[in-house]
Amino acid sequence: MTRNTAWKAPALATASLAAAGALAAWPHISAAPAAPAIYHAPRQALSPNTAPKPNSIQASSFGWSASNWSGYAVTGSTYNDITGNWIVPAVSPSKKNTYSSSWIGIDGFNNSDLIQTGTEQDYVNGHAQYDAWWEILPAPETVISSMTIAPGDHMSAHIHNNGNGTWTITLTDVTRNETFSTTQSYSGPGSSAEWIQEAPEIGGRIATLANYGETTFDPGTVNGGNPGLTMSDGGYMVQNNAVVSVPSAPDSDTDGFNVAYGSNQPSPPAS
């Protein structure tokens, strides 16, 4: 298999850990261990000729596979606006730390730029953790501490190019009536738009994907209209030579899909 390794996380997490160690060594001062920085990296593509295939009669119709992404991505235009809705999935217990992220974003499919927002669903140190975040590479995610996230919450997200070098990121927990918005500078080319279930990057490596069960991304728009998703826009995730996350075919109105942990392809959602 081949991977796109053009993007590497900066050594921010290492620096933070070193600083924490120095602080702990100072007399009468103690510091809690620094949590590892979480990065939502560009797609790490795998060779379509060697990657394992999902359990599906439609397996050959997928357009791509990756070691960190699964879901749908559209290319072939310039993208200035994307929306998405999803249900926060519940993660199952695991012996080791495992991670999963649900998000929408622009760029990252074939380049190292990426602007995105989403939710984190992890199983860390013996318990499940859920939060909301936004991110513009090369920085790690910024946790949205003002939002409380739980499994089953309906999330709605919007990323919009304001046309003056800034973009507005908005994330709403529809279930809890909580909204966060931020306007940030971003200069990526806007060459892809995507709705992704991801294994994020921790400590410079792609994390083991958490067992998130199944979730739904529906509906979504791009540049203000229906994305017109097709199977060739879809891709699945492979880790340790096994398929671990597979999206369904698009729903009948081509603006949504289900995605499931494991190698079996789920059915699409009702439109």
Residue 162 falls inside a structural domain: yes
34 with 116, same domain: the answer is no
Residue 140 DSSP symbol: -
**H helix count then E strand count, the chain:** 1, 18
pLDDT of 1:
44
Residue 270 falls inside a structural domain: no
pLDDT of 266:
97
98 with 140, same domain: the answer is yes
Query: Which residues make Cβ contacts (< 8 Å) with residue 21, sequence separation at least 6?
Result: none
Secondary structure (3-state) at 109: coil
Q: What is the pLDDT of residues 142-166, one digit of tens each?
A: 999 999 999 999 999 999 999 999 9
Assign residue 240 a region: left if phi > 0, alpha if psi is -120 to 50, beta otherwise? left
Q: Where would I find the beta strands (DSSP E) of 162-204? A: 166-173, 178-185, 192-198, 201-202
pLDDT of 6:
54
Residue 204 falls inside a structural domain: yes
Q: What is the pLDDT of residues 84-122, one digit of tens each?
A: 999 999 999 999 999 999 999 999 999 999 999 999 999
Whats the size of the chain, residue-wise? 271
Side-chain-facing half-sphere of 25: CA atoms under 13 Å: 6
The DSSP element (H or E) to which 117 belongs, if any, is strand 115-124
Residue 3 falls inside a structural domain: no
Residue 266 falls inside a structural domain: no
179 with 120, same domain: the answer is yes
Mean pLDDT of 122-128: 97
92 with 168, same domain: the answer is yes
Q: How many domains does the chain have?
A: 2
120 with 14, same domain: the answer is no
End-to-end Cα, the chain, rounded Å: 36
18 with 114, same domain: the answer is no
15 with 141, same domain: the answer is no
Residue 244 falls inside a structural domain: yes
30 with 79, same domain: the answer is no
Q: β-strand 257-261 against 214-222: which pairing, if any? A: antiparallel
Residue 1 falls inside a structural domain: no
Residue 268 falls inside a structural domain: no
pLDDT of 13:
45
What percent of the chain is predicted at pLDDT more than 70? Answer: 87
18 with 136, same domain: the answer is no
In the predicted model, what is the mean pLDDT of the chain? 91
pLDDT of 14:
41
Q: What is the pLDDT of residues 21-80, one digit of tens each?
A: 443 444 444 444 567 899 999 999 998 778 899 998 888 899 999 999 999 999 999 999
197 with 124, same domain: the answer is yes
pLDDT of 221:
98
100 with 25, same domain: the answer is no
131 with 169, same domain: the answer is yes
Which CATH number does the domain housing residue 203 bear?
2.60.120.700
CB 196 within 8 A of CB 105: yes
pLDDT of 11:
54
pTM of the model as a whole: 0.90
pLDDT of 22:
40
Lowest mean pLDDT among 54-58, 113-117, 215-219, 230-234: 54-58
Q: Which domain holds residue 19?
A: 10-38
